[in-house]
Structure 1
Amino acid sequence: MSLQRSALASALLLTLCASPLAALASTLAPPRAEQVPGVYHQRIGDLQVTALFDGVVALARRELVGVDPAIVTRALQDRYVPESPKGLQTAVNAFLIREGDHLTLVDAGTAQCFGPGLGQVLANLRAAGVDPADVDDVLLTHAHPDHLCGIVDAHGAIAYPNATVWLSRADADYWLDPASESTAPQGVRFAFALARSAAAPYQAGNRLRTFAPGDALPGHAVALDTHGHTPGHVSFRFDSQGQSLLVWGDVLHYHAVQFAHPDASFEADSDRRAAIHSRTAMLAQATQGRWWVAGAHLPFPGLGHVRSEGEAYAWVPAEYSPL
């Protein structure tokens, strides 16, 4: 009997020892190679603004034109912008604005238009606790794929089944017209079919609306004419309780360079002179008005302010703050 008791005690001891070891092994397991959800909330007046991360895209240095390459190199020095052989890492962001029960999404990300690593807006919207069916309106700053394609899902179906999509008349007339494609620069011709495909189900349901700057828009949005990057590029201002939020779309792409050198242009700008004018106007107004700024291609969450720095400007990222 004593031998049996001894064997039983040994087995029990091994079991007790094994449990902590198993727990320790579990804690030392390799972490999942995933980032946290790309969601950030900011209260501005009575507005709850939610930044939604779509992913990153690489923009080549050579696509930054109108400025001496040596100036670009100096501007990027010590800024630690991740760079690969494909180019400088550039975020793609969308923004959800909640005012009371009304939900307005500004821009919709890329969906499947730019391949893996992008197209995360819908998933991050759900991670923020919002059903896409609850979005009332989608305001598009312009019709490029990284802003428009996300109005449909990975299967080409309507992503926001109860929303009306709003696109400036000038961009709709250009990007949704097949006749424009043949005269467009070769490098942007691919975007026409993508724009038409994404817009088609909303057009079929009579839920695509066009507008001009100054027209009344849902969610108390004010459309500002910031054309240049595209013929009908607009930015949206939302005002609440004495504060203003400017969602400026593609007014700026290379944050490490273009705040300090607003005259530097992106090669894809349809009218570089107009794009520079729009950029300098928005930088000045945002600085003077102490507006909040939400930028599609600023490092996530892309929320903050602009301050003057000498004769140019600098970006001031938002401080983390609880709601």
Structure 2
Amino acid sequence: MLATVAAISGAPSLTFAAAPKQHFQSPGFYRMALGDLEITALSDGTLPLPLPEMYRDVTAEQAAQLLRTAYRDIPTDTSVNAFVVNDGQRLVLIDAGSGSYLGAEAGHLFANLEASGYKASQIDHVILTHVHTDHSGGLVRDRTLVFENATLHVPAREFEFWLKTPAEARPDGLNPQLFKEAEECLRPYLERGRVEVFQDDDEVISGFQSILRPGHTPGHSSIVVESGGKKLVFWGDITHGDVVQFEQPEVTIEFDVDRSGAVRSRRQAFAKAIAEGHLVAGAHIAFPGIGNVLRDGEHFDWMPVNYSDGEGGIIR
């Protein structure tokens, strides 16, 4: 026994190098079914935003306290989400991510679309909730069409505002760069005759209904799909995050073109989601951004969809 101990103690020590940290996630897509529809949420990335400084109609200190109470860091990682609907005949993309406009932390929609099993060339229709660059930037790459076989559908009010408003008629304080980027993202599709506009509260294509919810931008619209008695409303930018504007719906954000209009639309969207109990898909709610709105007295809460890795995700 002593000889064995001596032999072990005299042996060279074995050391192992620590494994390096891996700074990546799994591909950013989440799939579920809504009746006969397949819904795929796509992550364009997350942006670390100083949200307390960006919110309006609330003090930065109050906003920061709400975020910290919800255990959110500041800056707060804020999702940029888009969604694909497969109805068995068409692939329809709701919003198109940011492309190269917001730096390396975003612009991942194309890669995550492919990771989810689809290619950009398979997309039949792209529907924009509005024209802000984090929703339209992914339409182009090097000023050429990414979705080469798709028809692009844009709310009529958005098209008029971003592409036709003369510089002297634009709202004070609105970044002129947004108008330049709108032109860059939509123009290649216009030149190829691939843009169709849709009117307020109109059907965009069969099975996809729009709801005008202006304020964030003049033509900001939600998109509705239904199947098997279930409804999902792609919200667009009704909220930025899932904490502050649920707790205090009157809080706006610096990107809102019409702040009072944005509050009205948010309250209408909350009320409808609660009254009908329908699912919501938010562009800037923590990925995958799909869930339900709950009432908490005079305030609201966000309930993410229950995660499932397969058939359990089917909602019928």
> 178-187 or 198-207, which moves further after superposition?
178-187
- Verify the 8 A CA contact 2:125 2:152 in the aligned structure 1: yes
Residue aligned with 1:167, SS: strand
- Verify the 8 A CA contact 1:102 1:219 in the aligned structure 2: no
**1:99-248 equivalences in 2 (<5 Å):** 99-153=87-141, 155-177=142-164, 179-180=166-167, 183-248=170-235
**1:45-124 equivalences in 2 (<5 Å):** 45-57=35-47, 58-84=49-75, 88-124=76-112
- Between Structure 1 and Structure 2, which shows a larger proportion of helix residues? 1
How far apart, CA to CA, are the structure 2 residues paired with 1:46 and 1:180? Answer: 46
1:294, distance to aligned residue in structure 2 (A): 0.4
How far apart, CA to CA, are the structure 2 residues paired with 1:44 and 1:261? Answer: 30
- In structure 2, relative to structure 1, the CA distance for the partners of 1:162 and 1:181 (3 Å cut) is farther
AA paired with 1:93? N
1:102, distance to aligned residue in structure 2 (A): 1.1
- Verify the 8 A CA contact 2:81 2:287 in the aligned structure 1: yes
- In structure 2, relative to structure 1, the CA distance for the partners of 1:286 and 1:181 (3 Å cut) is farther
AA paired with 1:212? Q
- Verify the 8 A CA contact 2:52 2:59 in the aligned structure 1: no
- Verify the 8 A CA contact 2:64 2:74 in the aligned structure 1: no
- Verify the 8 A CA contact 2:201 2:210 in the aligned structure 1: yes
Number of residue-to-residue matches in the alignment: 295
Q: What is the Cα-based RMSD across aligned positions, in Å?
A: 1.8
AA paired with 2:63? V
Cα offsets for 1:79-134 (capped at 9, x unmatched): 122323xxx32110001111112111000000011111110001000000101111
Residue aligned with 1:263, SS: coil
- Verify the 8 A CA contact 1:104 1:219 in the aligned structure 2: no
1:72, distance to aligned residue in structure 2 (A): 2.0
Residue aligned with 1:83, SS: coil
Q: TM-score scaled by structure 1?
A: 0.87
Q: TM-score scaled by structure 2?
A: 0.88
- Verify the 8 A CA contact 1:103 1:219 in the aligned structure 2: no
Residue aligned with 2:157, SS: helix
Aligned to 2:281: 294
Residue aligned with 2:130, SS: coil
How far apart, CA to CA, are the structure 2 residues paired with 1:106 and 1:117? Answer: 21
- In structure 2, relative to structure 1, the CA distance for the partners of 1:211 and 1:264 (3 Å cut) is same
1:183, distance to aligned residue in structure 2 (A): 2.8
Aligned to 1:9: none
Residue aligned with 1:111, SS: coil
Gaps of 5+ in 1: 1-20
Aligned residues with identical type, % of pairs: 35
